[in-house]
Chains A and B, each alone.
Chain A
Amino acid sequence: MPQLTMTELWWCDECIKGTALMVKKLGALAQISNDPQLRNICHTLRQNHQRHLDILVNQIASV
């Protein structure tokens, strides 16, 4: 099984942190938005970021 390089680890770490922050942020923005369309967009994006976060974590765990 290949081992992650330090560079890969750093970039994955930053991606995970940024994605996790977007998940929190989109959840909060969806609650304060007035436009249902915008709220729906925030929900969709939040779900996508949540899924991305899972993918990244699983990817690192598999290495």
Chain B
Amino acid sequence: MALVKVRYGAILSVALFILVFALLCIYGRGFFTAENLVRSLLIPASMSAVIACGMTLVMIGGGIDLSMGATAGLGALAGAALGTKVVSSIAAAMFSGMFLGSLNGFFIALMGINPFIVTLTTSFVAKGLQFLVSLQKAQSTALLWSLPMDRIGSSASFQIGTSLFVVIFLYVFIGKTKYGRYVKAIGENSEVAIYSGIPVRFYSWMTYVIGSVLAGLSGVMLTSYEGLVRVGSGDNFLLDAFLLPLLGKAVFGRLSIGGTVFAALFLAMIVNGLYILGLPPSWVNAMKGVLLFGMVVVSQVGRR
């Protein structure tokens, strides 16, 4: 067994990141300005990093949560409908996330049902709740944020600060506490974890709760930046949440908060760079797909 495994994929990917960044600095007019880096790179990256870090925790525990997109949407709608102040909005969003997360966790960790099936079905439930909240509040499928929340949502320090807090919290939680180790152990081998005396069901349940709370929070971050919440606002987040941890894993060989954040930054940089280089907006998504595809293939170099 090789003691030191050189991950050519990781080295190549990081080199690619630096190369793309450098090229954009040289050729992209206005790329390397504080305004652009904060508004168009860090803020989108921090929104998707929050939900993707929640998913990373769930995935490290050996699960998956496909209801996160719907949960993010529900959190945003609940926040906009119930809260008039900043704190109460965010609390409402996180509580609705907690509700769905504990529902998921109950069926997955306590009843032992396949996470795919459970979270798929709860995403239907969350979609229904989105319509319910929105129609009850305003007879329409879109709500406006309250003024204070709107103002704080468009500030860069709120977006990036929240994201930084979440990232650091989860990094410490997973990497430096025994609870994080429990979650890792469960993800590696739940049978062994049981025999090591770890309360497997509780910690598995907990990953879903934390993940969904973060999903609700990221829903608030996204929609308060835009000022408007629609039913289905969070749907696009599902892909981010799902893709970023796996990209991080493809690059660094295992699921980690660092890898997820790297993937979020990389993706945001690609999108920003393509816009700045003057690609027509309708082509940006296609190019993003092509580059992602290339990156995934490159990251597999030297594997097996």
Q: Do A and B come from one complex?
A: no
Binding site for B on A (CB under 8 A): none
